[in-house]
Amino acid sequence: MYVGALELDVLLGDVHSLKQKRSVVKPVVAELRRRFEVSVAEAGHQDLHRRALIGVAVVAAGAEHVRDVLDACERLVAGRPELELLSARRRLVGPED
């Protein structure tokens, strides 16, 4: 069993309140969850209206599948025009760890 985690630090575009932030981040989180069947949540920068930290986790039998899913999630977020991906950090834990 392999567990992968991905932290996506994003900068939001023309957002001026926490309410507007939620209206941008919530659909991204929902799309990641729906398209890739991963666990995902806004996991940081919750008090800042122009920043968000999106956390993604996936569990699979093979490390390659975990990497593929995390790559696809990162590409989806990077491709959103209303977001600027500042950084992406990932971790992979397997049976030998």
Characterize 17-54 residue by residue with b for buried, 16 or more Cβ atoms within 10 angstroms of its Cβ, and e for exposed.
Answer: eeeebbebbeebbeebeeebebebebeebeeebbbbbb
pLDDT the model gives residue 92: 97
Task: Indicate whether 21 belongs to any domain.
Answer: yes
Residue 12 lies in a domain: yes
The CA distances from residue 81 to 1, 55, 58, 91, in Å, are: 35, 19, 25, 26
Range of the domain at 33: 2-90
Is the residue at 95 inside a domain?
A: no
Q: What is the CATH number of the domain that holds 26?
A: 3.30.70.1120
Domain count, the chain: 1
pLDDT at 97 over 90: no
Per-residue model confidence as pLDDT tens digits over 46-74: 888 899 999 999 999 999 999 999 999 99
Q: How far apart are CA 96 and CA 79, in angstroms?
A: 34
